[in-house]
Amino acid sequence: MNSNQLSRVLELLKAEKANEAQEIFNAIEPVETVEYLMVQGIVEQKFQHWGKAINAFSKVIEIEPGNTEANNNLYLIQSIINFWNPEMFNP
């Protein structure tokens, strides 16, 4: 796996070039490393593929239980999934 490719994917995401980032990421050979799984989770989160993002961040936490970024991203996704606006239900 090329660490430079993963860095490039993150740069493209920051530059709001998500489709290009996803193409490069999809060309990288999958591996079960914290670095790869974090980038995978971030890419999936960007495209609102919540289940895939949760799986990636959860694997990071299995490998590295104290990973703050993965824990924060999981919390954020859970907040998005559980969000509901009470005003929508008021007639």
Instruction: Determine the pLDDT at residue 57.
Output: 97
The C-alpha atoms of residue 88 and residue 74 are separated, in whole angstroms, by 26
Q: Which residue has the tokens 């996704």?
A: 77
Token digits of residue 81 = 């999934």
Which regions of the chain are under pLDDT 50?
A: none
Helix 18-27 to helix 34-46 angle (10° resolution) is 140
Instruction: Determine the pLDDT at residue 66.
Output: 94
Instruction: Determine the pLDDT at residue 81.
Output: 85
Instruction: Determine the pLDDT at residue 76.
Output: 94
C-alpha distances in angstroms, 33 versus 36, 79, 89?
5, 26, 44
Instruction: Determine the pLDDT at residue 86.
Output: 62
Instruction: Determine the pLDDT at residue 85.
Output: 62
Q: Which domains does the chain have, with CATH numbers?
A: 3-82 (1.25.40.10)
